[in-house]
Amino acid sequence: MDKPILQLTDIRKSFLAVRALKGVSFDLTAGEVHALLGENGAGKSTLIKVITGAHQPDTGAIQVNGNIVEKLTPASAHKLGIAAIYQQPALFPDLSVAENIALSLEPPKTFRRIRWNARHDQARQLLDRVGAKIDPDAEVRSLSMPEQQLVEIAKALGTGARILIMDEPTASLTHTEVQLLLGVVRDLRTQGVGIIYISHRLEEIFQIADRVTVLRDGESVGTNPVSKINEASLIKLMVGREVASIYPPSETQPRDVVVSLKNLGCASSGVRGVSFDVRAGEIFGLAGLVGAGRTELARILFGITPADGGEISLNGKAIQIHSPREAVEHGIAYVPEDRRRHGVILEMSIAANMTMAIHPQFFPGAWLRFGKEEAFAQTYIRDLQIKAFGPEAPGGSLSGGNQQKVALARWLATKPKVLILDEPTQGVDVGAKSEIHKIIRRLAAQGLAVIMISSDLPEILGMSDRIGVMRGGTVTGILDGKTADPHSVMAAALGQTEGINA
């Protein structure tokens, strides 16, 4: 094997009484994609912060290009050619794409002439490298989350890093965008860049990685060539047990129609002529490429951007939804895609997060009933198997998977008839993903009509009873979940609709 460009030896790190890393060793060679896997809380984030200089290890050695680094800081890591791309984009929303990219590439000077055309051209070239058709002059706040992620990747590539850490870079990307990104990763590998690749999508690991290291409870439990290991073995290493089925089978038959859409549309959202029914006990998956209108449709159903055409019927009765409050009153709940912005308020307690949608029930008038609120939250902590110190713990203390469960509990508390889930397992580990899937199946079995939006094609195929595929703001096909395959879903997403409706 070639000499490592990065080598960590017996890295240990504790935070008070919590031992986050317990003697982890890891190495990376030039032109290698080395996957780093593990459940949330396994130590991946802490290890990455050690590599980028954000955390100083308590003990252990770090070598970059064969030289021991005594004290690695973010500034020295940058100079050594270490760059990281994180799951949540760290961009300035009021600046343009080109300005955001320039901030990481141009040297800071008090007085300097800005070459706007050069900034634009540089941004365009970097965006082209990741296959992003984004206007460099567009404000970041106008971009979707997947588009922001692509800008973040382009920005990191512009630094000329030789050691690149990619932490869940595809969590909010569609299948097509994922393949474009993996193409970029392959190109970087041929250029001699060493890449540490973190992803909960195991299929990506087998497509792109050369080696894989698994962390569990702060320890390395194995490093293997990807060619010598399979998915079942990886899952067992990650969770310490067999996971019988990531996608549990449906055990109930859909019943009466709960919600029906007929020619539904909203001009400002670009959604038009959407028609489908969802039955009690059914999981109706919504697939499509970014910009197809899936999230926009969810926002219409929840009254965030009310419909201006068509009809919504609930239990056979036409209804009007002008606001989220009206949606909740009708029995419609929505767990949004971006749990950090719209799901869990990290500074608030778990109990307060869970009861937010039904707050008046616990605090009528001026009466404060914190004990009742915490007892209520404890029930959902138990039922959803949320790993937490207690209902009074802040939402920010939870792993991504447990935050998603708290967001789900908030809307289950409203006793909905229709549950809309937008990317319900985005960025969570394989163990938490399996648990969330079981919860969704159980809710459907209890009679909920579930609309599940996902960019994870295996998830759509594994969980959906029927699949509605969107393109250009409308549904181009409805597929039977039992017979659908990746080809039929992608064909509908690309507008090839002949003979695919279920």
Residues 378 and 459 in one domain: yes
Residues 13 and 75 in one domain: yes
Domain of 478: which CATH number?
Answer: 3.40.50.300
pLDDT at 6: 96
Residues 183 and 82 in one domain: yes
* Of 34 and 118, more confident: 34
140-159 pLDDT, tens digit per residue, is 999 877 788 788 888 888 87
pLDDT at 211: 97
Residues 206 and 273 in one domain: no
| Cβ-contact 12, 22 below 8 angstroms | yes
* Of 221 and 363, more confident: 221
Residues 212 and 131 in one domain: yes
Percent above pLDDT 70 for the chain: 91
* Of 43 and 500, more confident: 43
Distance between CA atoms of 376 and 207, rounded to whole angstroms? 44
pLDDT at 340: 59
Structure tokens at 309: 């055409």
| Cβ-contact 256, 280 below 8 angstroms | yes
Residues 415 and 454 in one domain: yes
Assess if residue 452 is contained within a domain: yes
To the nearest 10 degrees (0 to 180), the angle between helices 400-412 and 370-383 is: 120
Measured in whole angstroms, the distance separating CA 120 from the mean position of its chain's CA atoms is 29
pLDDT at 366: 56
Assess if residue 118 is contained within a domain: yes
Residues 281 and 206 in one domain: no
Domain boundary among 179, 205, 239: 239
In terms of Cβ atoms closer than 10 Å to its own Cβ (0-12, 13-18, 19+), residue 496 is middle
Assess if residue 245 is contained within a domain: no
Assess if residue 205 is contained within a domain: yes
What is the count of structural domains for the chain? Answer: 2
Assess if residue 184 is contained within a domain: yes
List the Cα angle 219/224/228 in 5-degree steps: 145
Assess if residue 139 is contained within a domain: yes
454-485 pLDDT, tens digit per residue, is 988 888 999 999 999 999 999 999 999 999 98
Domain boundary among 181, 204, 239: 239
User: At residue 283, does pLDDT exceed 90?
Assistant: yes
| Cβ-contact 71, 232 below 8 angstroms | no
Residues 198 and 308 in one domain: no
345-386 pLDDT, tens digit per residue, is 778 888 888 888 777 776 666 555 667 788 888 888 888 888
pLDDT at 260: 97
Residues 429 and 308 in one domain: yes
pLDDT at 445: 92
Residues 63 and 170 in one domain: yes
Mean pLDDT of the chain, nearest integer:
86
Phi and psi angles of residue 69, each rounded to the nearest 5 degrees, phi first:
-105, 115
- Of 151-155, 231-235, 496-500, which gets the smallest average pLDDT? 496-500
pLDDT at 502: 55
User: At residue 67, does pLDDT exceed 90?
Assistant: yes
Strands 219-225 and 474-480: unpaired
pLDDT at 342: 61
Distance between CA atoms of 249 and 171, rounded to whole angstroms? 24
- Of 275-284, 289-298, 350-359, which gets the smallest average pLDDT? 350-359
Percent above pLDDT 90 for the chain: 46
Assess if residue 446 is contained within a domain: yes
pLDDT at 501: 59
pLDDT at 449: 96
State the pLDDT confidence band at 498, using cuts at 50, 70 and 90. low
Residues 221 and 293 in one domain: no
Mean pLDDT of 202-223: 92
Residues 311 and 449 in one domain: yes
DSSP summary character for residue 3? P
User: Which structural domain range is residue 283 located in?
Assistant: 257-493
- Of 195-209, 237-251, 340-354, 424-438, which gets the smallest average pLDDT? 237-251
pTM of the complete model beyond 0.85 = no
* Of 20 and 170, more confident: 20
Assess if residue 501 is contained within a domain: no
76-122 pLDDT, tens digit per residue, is 998 898 989 876 778 999 999 999 999 877 665 545 567 788 889 99
Domain boundary among 208, 239, 270: 239
State the pLDDT confidence band at 497, using cuts at 50, 70 and 90. low
